[in-house]
Chains A and B, each alone.
Chain A
Amino acid sequence: MELFKKRGILIVAAVLLVFAFVAYFGLPAGLRALGLHAPYKGQRYMLKDRTALIVCTSHDTLGEGGAKTGVFGSEFTAPYYEFTDGRMRVEVASIQGGPIPIEPISFNWFIKSEPDERYLSDPILQDKIAHSLRINEVDFTLYDIIYLAGGWGAAYDLGTSTVLGDKITQAYRAGKVVGGVCHGPLGLLLALDEKGHPLVKGRRLTAVTDKQVRELGITQTPQHPERNLRAAGALFESSTAFRDMFANHVTVDGRLVTGQNQNAGHEVANKMIQAAGGTKR
C-alpha cells in the first residue's frame, strides 16, 4: 500500500508538471496560432528621420468605480517599435497629458506580445508613457503620422474630445497620414476633411466590432466604434472569427489607415509609413 501511495503521488506530480509545462508554453502559442498577436510577416517600411505621434487615452476606469482600464498595451507598443525600427522619431501624447493608464490585462503572461516584452525593459518608452504630452500643447501638423491607440479607455475620451478632433483636422488637411486601431479610430469622429465634411463620412475604415464588444461583455462604455462610426457615415468593414478578438483586418483609404483591433498594430503602422511615402525595409 505504501508503495502504491508513493507511486500515486509521483504520477500525480508528473501529470501536474506536464500540464504546467504544456500550459506555460502551449497557451500563449495556442492563442497566437488562433490569431491573437499573430507575428507580422508582411512587408515593413521605413521613413528615416521623420516623425510619428501616438495618441492615447487618459481614462483609467470602466464606468463609475469600475475596473481599471486604459490603453491596451500592444496597441501602442507594436506601432511604436514599428515606427522606431522604421527609423522614425516617435512621441507619445494623451488627452490629458502626463501618465497614461495601461489596461492591466495587456501584460498578462499569456497575452503579452513581443513588443510588450520590449516595452517592459525599455526605459525610454516607459518614460514617454509616464510623461506623455498633452494634445492641446502639441502641433499635430509637425508629425508625418498621427496614430490613435485604442483600449477601453479610448471609448470614453477620444471620440468626444473637440481638441483631438481639431488637431486631427489640421493634420489631415496638412497632408499627414492619420489612423489607429481598435477604439482608437473613435478619435476620428470629430475631425473634418479639407471641404469641412466629417472626415470619416463615406470613407472606408475599420475598428473594433460590436461583436467583439459583446463577446468580451464590456458594453457599458459611452461609445462603440462600429456603431458610432457607421452612424457618422463611415463605410465600416471588418473580418470575423469565432471570437472577433482573434480576427485581423486593416483598411487603407488614402491617408486614412485603420486596424480592427489589437492584432493590427504592426500592419497599420507599416501601412501608415508606406502611405507617408516610406520605402521598403
Chain B
Amino acid sequence: MNQKIKPGSKRDTGLRVLSGWVGLNFMVLGIGFLVLPEVFATAFFMEPARAVGINSLRGDMGSLFLGMGFFCLLGVLTIHRRLLMIPMVFLSLVIVGRLTSVIVDDVPLIAGGALVAEFVMLSILLVTLFLSPGATAKHHMPVTVRSIFTRFSVIGLVLVFVTILALFASRSQIGMALVHVIGKQLSSKDGAAELPDGLHVIFAGSGSPIPDSKRVQPCIVVVAGKNIYIVDSGPGSTLRLELMGIRVGQVQGVLLTHFHSDHIGNLGELMLKCWASGARTKPLDVFGPSGVETVVQGFNLAYAMDSQYRVAHHGPATVPPSGMGGVARPFALPKGNDGQVVIDADGLKVTAFLVDHRPVVQAVGYRFDYKGRSLVISGDTLPADSLRKHANGAQLLLHEALQPTMIRAIGTINKDIGRTNVANIFADILNYHTFTEEAARIARDAEVKYLVLYHTLPPLPVAVVKKTFLGESEQFFKGPMTIAEDGMGFCMPADSQEIQTKWFW
C-alpha cells in the first residue's frame, strides 16, 4: 500500500522542485499581469477593448495567477502538499474552459500551446500530490498559520514582494527596454511575407456601417504570390491593415466594389499610407466601375495639401511627389452576367462582374484566380445570378450577409423609441442586401468549397448571437461556413485544395 516516497528523498525533492517551477511560472504570470498588464494580455490575445479594461487585467488576471502561484509554492515549501489541490482545481477549470471554447467558438485554437502547457503543469502537480509523503501523522495536521509560515515560505513571500516592488520602481527602464523589443517586432512585422506561395485573403474590415466592436467597415486584403491587392477601403480599416503588419507600401492596387461610404471612406488615408510608407514613385491604381474617377479625384484633392507639406518636410527622396495619391482605373461592364478581366498579371487573373445593389449602379463583385486557387468577393448585393455564375466552382466565397429577423427586431426597437429615420433605414436595407440563408443557398448552387459571411448586419459583438445570425443556413449549405471577423485570414497554398484559417491580428 505504501508506495509513497520518503520525505527528503531524491525523488521527493525532484517532484517538489518541478511543482515549485510550476508555482514560479504562475508567479511570473501574476507579477507580469500586475506590472505590465497590456504586454501580458497581448501575449494571450486579450488586449482590453477599452482603456479601463486595464483595471481588470491588473486586478483579476494578476490575482488569479498570483493566487495560483502562492498556493502552489506554499504546497511545496511547507508540509501541506494538499494545498496543491487549489492550483490544480484552477488549472482543470482553465482546461475545461479552453475546450469549451474549441467547441463553441468558431475560431482555431490559437492558445493550443497554452493548453498543452496547462496540461503538463496539471500532471506535474497531480503526480507530486499523489506520490507525496503522507504517511506520518504530521502531514495530516490541520493547516494553521504557524504551519504555513515556515522559513522557506516566508523567504519566498518576501522575495515575491520585493520583486513586485522593484519592478514597479523600474517601470521607466522596463518601458525603454520594451521600446526596443516591441518596436523591432512592429517595424519588422510583415504579415503577408510569411505566407506560402498561393492565394490568401485577410479581413482588415469585415463589418458594415453599423458599429461593431469586432468589425470595422469592409476592407479585404488579397495576397496572390508576391502581390497584394486591397478590395474596398472601409472607415477604420487602414489602421487595422497596419496593426496586422500588412506592408501597405507594397500594395499593388485597390479594387472598389461600389462607392458607398462604408467601402471608400478610408481611401484617402490608404493612398497616403501606401505612398508615405512605401516611397512609391507612381500613384496607386484604384480600380472600380465608372465613377471611380470622381472618387479618386476627390480624395486626391482632399489630401493634396497634406502631400505638399510632407514633401516639403521629408524631401522628395523620402516621399517622391510623383507617387502621391491614386489614379483611377475605371471599367464599364456590359449589362448581363458576362464579367470582364480587369487585372491579368503574374499569374493572377481578376474578373469583375455586375451584382445587384440597386439603386447603386454599377456595383460589382470580384473573382480572383491564381495557380489553381479561386476566390470570389460578393461586394454589396442582393442574391444575384451573375454572382452565382462567377462563383461557380470557386473554392472560397466571401459573401455579404444580413440576418433579416435580427434587423427587423432592431428596426422595431428604433421605431418604439421614436428614432423613425433609423427604423426606416433598417427597413430599407432589407431590400439591397442578401439574407444569411440566401447566401448559403448561393454557396450551395455555386458549389463552392467554403463560405465566409462578411459585411454582417446587424453587428455581432458577442459570439453567442452567431448561431442566431446563421438561422437555418446550415440546412442549405453543408460545407464549412464562417462569420468573418477583423484579423481573420484564409490561406490557400498554390496548387492544393487546402484552406487554412489563420489570425493576423
Q: Hey, which bits of chain A sit against chain B, CB under 8 A?
A: 41, 43-44, 46, 48-49, 85, 87, 279-281
Contacts of B445 in A (CB 8 A): 280
Query: B356 interface residue, CB < 8 Å from A?
Result: yes
Query: B438 interface residue, CB < 8 Å from A?
Result: yes
What's the Cα separation between A43 and B434 when bound, in Å? 15
Contacts of B434 in A (CB 8 A): 281
**CB atoms of B388 and A87 under 8 A apart:** no
Could you say which of B383, B432, B435, B475 contacts A279, with CB atoms under 8 Å apart?
Answer: B383
Least CB distance from A119 to B in Å reads 13
A48 and B358 contact, Cβ closer than 8 Å, known pairs A87-B431, A281-B438? yes
**CB atoms of A279 and B358 under 8 A apart:** no
**CB atoms of A48 and B435 under 8 A apart:** no
**CB atoms of A280 and B388 under 8 A apart:** yes
Give A281's nearest chain B residue, CB to CB.
Answer: B383
Contacts of B382 in A (CB 8 A): 46, 48, 87, 281
Contacts of B432 in A (CB 8 A): 48
Give chain B's interface residue range (CB within 8 Å of chain A): 10 to 19
Query: B404 interface residue, CB < 8 Å from A?
Result: yes
Within 8 A of A (CB), among B378-393: 382-385, 388
Least CB distance from B443 to A in Å reads 13
Give A39's nearest chain B residue, CB to CB.
Answer: B472
Query: B430 interface residue, CB < 8 Å from A?
Result: yes
Question: Could you give 6 example pairs across A and B, Cβ below 8 Å?
Answer: A44-B438, A85-B435, A279-B383, A279-B384, A280-B383, A280-B385
Contact with A along B370-411 (1 / 0, CB 8 A): 000000000000111100100000000000000010000000
A interface, over-half SS: loop
What's the Cα separation between A212 and B90 when bound, in Å? 65
What's the Cα separation between A167 and B454 when bound, in Å? 45
Least CB distance from A83 to B in Å reads 13
Least CB distance from B446 to A in Å reads 11
Contacts of B441 in A (CB 8 A): 43-44, 280-281
What's the Cα separation between A137 and B163 when bound, in Å? 87
What's the Cα separation between A48 and B430 when bound, in Å? 11
What's the Cα separation between A85 and B430 when bound, in Å? 8
What's the Cα separation between A49 and B382 when bound, in Å? 12
What's the Cα separation between A44 and B434 when bound, in Å? 13
Least CB distance from A207 to B in Å reads 30
**CB atoms of A46 and B404 under 8 A apart:** no
A85 and B404 contact, Cβ closer than 8 Å, known pairs A48-B358, A48-B431, A281-B438? yes
Least CB distance from A273 to B in Å reads 12
What's the Cα separation between A44 and B404 when bound, in Å? 15
Give B358's nearest chain A residue, CB to CB.
Answer: A48
Q: List the 4 shortest-distance A-B pairs measured between CB atoms, nearest first.
A: A281-B383, A281-B438, A87-B431, A279-B385
* Residue from A43, A44, A49, A281 having most chain B Cβ neighbours under 10 A: A281
What's the Cα separation between A44 and B440 when bound, in Å? 12
**CB atoms of B356 and A48 under 8 A apart:** yes
What's the Cα separation between A118 and B438 when bound, in Å? 19
Contacts of A279 in B (CB 8 A): 383-385
* Residue from B356, B431, B475 having most chain A Cβ neighbours under 10 A: B431
Least CB distance from A127 to B in Å reads 13
Least CB distance from B220 to A in Å reads 24
Contacts of B438 in A (CB 8 A): 44, 281
Least CB distance from A280 to B in Å reads 6
Contacts of A48 in B (CB 8 A): 356, 358, 382, 431-432
